[in-house]
Amino acid sequence: MHSSHPANLALRVVLATWLCASQSFAQGVESAVVRITAKEGDRSKTGSGFVVQLTPELAYIVTASHVVEGDEAPQVEFYTKRDQPVAATVKAAEVGDPKGLALLVVSGKDAIAPSLSALALDASLQLQGGDEVTAIGFPRMGGDWAVSKGHMSARQGRELIFVMPVGEGNSGGPLLMNGKVVALVTSEAQGRAFAAPAASVKLFLEGSGVTGSASTSAAVPVGAPPRSASAKPAPSTAAGAAAVSVEQALALMGASQDEATRFTVLRDLVRKRSLAGPVSAAEMLSIMQGFGDKNRVAAIDTMKNLLVPNLSGADALALMGENTQESARFRILQSLLQAGRLQRPIAGEEAVALLARFHDNLRISAISIIDKQLAAGLGVRQVLALMGPEEKEPVRHRVLLTLLRAQRIKSPLEADEKLQLVETMTGTYRSSALQALK
């Protein structure tokens, strides 16, 4: 019988050992890494994320904020339940920050995949140049669940830079060492991955109310009992954990500091649960003094759960800003609604004022997110104002249909009132509107 050459035999042993180790590693983390698909306008985006905490009916997933920005219900696909995407809810997101993070929640036993696990964060490890890490994600050109190796190249402020073969779709995915997450990919370019260290991810999760066992220990399978009381979400700032007043926060931010520095200080105070709430609209305006559109949006999204509830329409208008761009005003309104900060129901006249400076698709979008909060029984005059007398026919038509579907318009309408609503519509828009008004 022909015997193998010793060198070939040694090579086979090495390859077999490497394959076994790779397979073992894959089996240990594959169920915790997810594919995320989100829509931003007409554009579809793909990214990665990973499970950080589990209960029998909830899966908490962290990713990069730009992966889900613009979509309130992104789709999540679990490795053990591929080709069966489920809807997630955006629980927290650092909106407007290209290096920001987001927290998603998938709810329901039926939605959560079997054999799911959570990954642990190693927030204490200080990475050095040359340290080897493994990236897991769903790059568009890499197929399902691509694994790649790389090494740390540099540190740039709080950001870590790795040299490795990653691509679009890796954003939000984990970088692992010894089976634990040491960083989260926030962006990629030209064979480099830019990442937030695990310590920053941990601070974000704690600030979002997630301090489960996956933040500090090994992967936890679905249905496993809590290991300690620390698995419960941290108490809210309003419950007494805060120590810094708005006045003190302003002093820490520094009136003479540049805008980016002031926002970073504010964000860190919120993440560390150090800022006292509730915060009034007037106090929020003082905090945002001098902020441009980007940081104004990000500040309100960061602070939304600390704002006082039952803000009036006038308060909301002030927070949206007189001179902010339309897209920034929309994101602020969206954040206030998501956090349930506005008075409900919203009176018709207040809604008219809130939507006065939205046009075209943004007017339609604004109506779509506010429709359920509107007071019922809107009169024809208010409906016409919400439709926008200066708007194009398709916009007025969509707004009218949205209000009708949400049952916000008074009923029954007189024949002349129906005619008033469709008076400036023509062709198929007019016939469709009349059909909906029947």
Decide: helix, strand or coil at residue 92.
strand
Q: Tell me what the pLDDT averaged over the chain comes to.
A: 83
Spatial separation of the C-alpha atoms in residues 118 and 134, rounded to whole Å? 17
- Given a cut of 90, is residue 176 above it in pLDDT? yes
3-state DSSP assignment of residue 45:
strand
Q: Among positive and negative, which fits the CA dihedral 381, 386, 387, 389?
A: positive
Percent of the chain with pLDDT over 70: 85
- CA distances in angstroms from 90 to 49, 72, 168, 223, listed in the order given: 13, 6, 21, 23
What number is the average pLDDT over the span 164-184? 91
Cβ neighbour number for residue 155 with a 10 Å cutoff: 14
- In degrees and rounded to multiples of 5, residue 272 shows phi and psi of -85, 5
Q: What is the mean pLDDT of residues 280-293?
A: 92
Domains of the chain: 32-107 (2.40.10.10), 132-231 (2.40.10.10), 290-437 (no CATH)
Name 229's Cβ contacts closer than 8 Å, sequence gap at least 6: none
Angle of CA points 230, 235, 237, to nearest 5° = 145
pLDDT band at 141 (very low <50, low <70, confident <90, very high): low
Q: Say what the pLDDT of residue 250 is.
A: 87
Residue 5's pLDDT band, with cuts at 50, 70 and 90, is very low
Nearest CA among 200, 227, 198, 29 for reference residue 123: 198
Task: Give the SS3 label for residue 88.
Answer: coil
Q: How confident is the model at residue 306 (pLDDT cuts 50, 70, 90)?
A: very high
- Quote the tokens at residue 353: 């004022």
Whole-angstrom Cα distance, residue 308 to residue 83? 42
Those residues whose C-beta lies under 8 Å from the C-beta of residue 189, and which sit 6 or more positions away, are: none
For residue 251, the model assigns a pLDDT of 84
Give the C-alpha separation, 230 to 432, whole Å. 56
Report residue 290 as tokens: 């001098």
pLDDT of residue 210: 84
Pairing of strands 159-163, 192-197: antiparallel
pLDDT band at 435 (very low <50, low <70, confident <90, very high): very high
Please work out, in degrees rounded to the nearest 5, the angle formed at the alpha carbon of residue 124 by the alpha carbons of 205 and 193.
Answer: 70
The answer to whether 287 and 299 are in contact (CB under 8 A) is yes
> Over 80: is that where the pLDDT of 4 sits?
no
Note the pLDDT of residue 420.
Answer: 93
- Pairwise pLDDT comparison (365 vs 116), residue with the higher score: 365
Coil, strand or helix at 189: strand
- The residue among 169, 125, 177 whose CA lies nearest residue 146 is 169
- Rounded CA-CA distance 115/73 in Å is 24
Beta-bridge mates of residue 76: 36, 86
pLDDT number for residue 143: 57
Q: Which residue has the higher pLDDT, 271 or 48?
A: 48
Residue 163 has pLDDT above 90, yes or no: yes
> Band of the pLDDT at 353, cuts 50, 70, 90?
very high
Task: Kindly indicate the confidence band of residue 166, based on its pLDDT and cuts at 50, 70 and 90.
Answer: confident
Give first-to-last CA distance, the chain, whole Å: 89
239 SS3 class: helix
Query: Distance (Å, rounded) from C-alpha 99 to C-alpha 106?
Result: 23
DSSP string, 140-180: TTT-SSEEEEEEEEEEETTEEEEES---TT-TT-EEEETTE
pLDDT in tens, 185-230: 999 888 899 999 998 898 889 888 886 544 333 343 333 333 333 3
Q: Which of 7-11, 126-130, 198-202, 397-401 has the lowest mean pLDDT?
A: 7-11
224 compared with 299, residue with greater pLDDT? 299
- pLDDT, tens digit (0-9, with 9 covering 90-100), for 44-68: 899 999 999 988 889 999 999 999 9
- Banded pLDDT at 96 (limits 50, 70, 90): confident
Tell me the C-alpha to C-alpha distance, in Å, between residue 195 and each of 91, 121, 152, 192, 352: 21, 14, 10, 10, 43
